[in-house]
Amino acid sequence: MSEPQKTDQIPPSKTPRKGIYLLPNLFTTAALFAGFYAIIAAIKGQFEIAAIAVFVAMLLDGLDGRVARLTHTESDFGAEYDSLSDMGSFGLAPALVLYQWALIHLADMGPLWGKLGWLAAFIYTASAALRLARFNTQVGIADKRYFQGLASPAAAAVVVGAVWVCETYGISGKEVMIPALLLTLTAGLLMVSRFSYYSFKDLDLKKKVPFFSVLLVVLVFVLLSIEPPTILFILAFLYMISGPILSIFRSIRKRQKRAQNLSE
């Protein structure tokens, strides 16, 4: 009786299969696409659409990380990809939208003003890159309750929010090119500042909150449904100035405490 033939079995590979998680990176890609589309719309002169596209990118950017955590698909690749997407959507896109909308018209005042226009756009873009690089190096080290410097999505909300409001009320970029220049520089410099901004990352939606908080949220949603560009810009602007204002209050408190300690 012949022996049964032995089939050679290929041992399973010990090397883990390389790949990326699809779902969260789809949201990141969609956010990057929205930022890219904002640039295209700005080149075509469709500034309201460009501003809305940046806000859509913000919404998608806020979802990709949450989707990754909920589905347990967090990865180093996703974190790096998200950072690069943020650079496109909240660094390049807002700067180019502002430049095409208002800063480009500074050249009508002379060559020097024209250079100031594109330099302001570059300063904003470079500040966003530096802000993202600093954030990436501080992950796990800095207090997660606060951002150091204005976050790039918040800066983008202020910049393109101003464009959206002006376009809604029929104000052209040429009419407000000087305020647009100052706003671009302010938002850019605040991104690389050392001012602390509340990150809202310690909010626990599962905990009970005061009834007034629920009413406040409902009021915000009602106002957003009535006048989205104005309310979004006001909220973003208030958040932008909250960093310097809180820093001033903290310094005043420190001086008062020092004065009390010296008097005792």
Question: pLDDT tens digits for the chain (264 residues)?
Answer: 444 444 445 454 444 445 567 788 899 999 999 999 999 999 999 999 999 999 999 999 988 888 888 888 888 888 899 999 999 999 999 999 999 999 999 999 999 999 999 999 999 999 999 999 998 887 766 667 778 899 999 999 999 999 999 999 999 999 999 999 999 999 999 999 999 898 877 666 667 667 666 787 788 888 888 899 999 999 999 999 999 998 888 888 888 888 777 776
Q: Which of 140, 131, 143 is nearest to 201 (CA)?
A: 143
CA dist., res. 58 & res. 32, Å (int): 10
Q: What is the pLDDT of residue 87?
A: 96
Task: Identify the three-state secondary structure at position 3.
Answer: coil
Q: Which residue has tokens 């570059």? A: 122
| DSSP for residue 144 | T
Q: What number of other Cβ atoms are within 10 A of residue 10's Cβ?
A: 5
Q: What is the pLDDT of residue 6?
A: 47
Q: What is the pLDDT of residue 37?
A: 98
Q: Which residue has tokens 């095409």? A: 100
- Determine the topology of domain 22-201+214-263 in CATH: Four Helix Bundle (Hemerythrin (Met), subunit A) (1.20.120)
The backbone torsions φ and ψ at residue 18, rounded to the nearest 5 degrees and listed phi first, read: -90, 145
Q: What is the pLDDT of residue 253?
A: 87
The backbone torsions φ and ψ at residue 194, rounded to the nearest 5 degrees and listed phi first, read: -105, 15
Give the angle 57-59-63 at the CA atoms, nearest 5°: 110
Global pTM reads 0.85
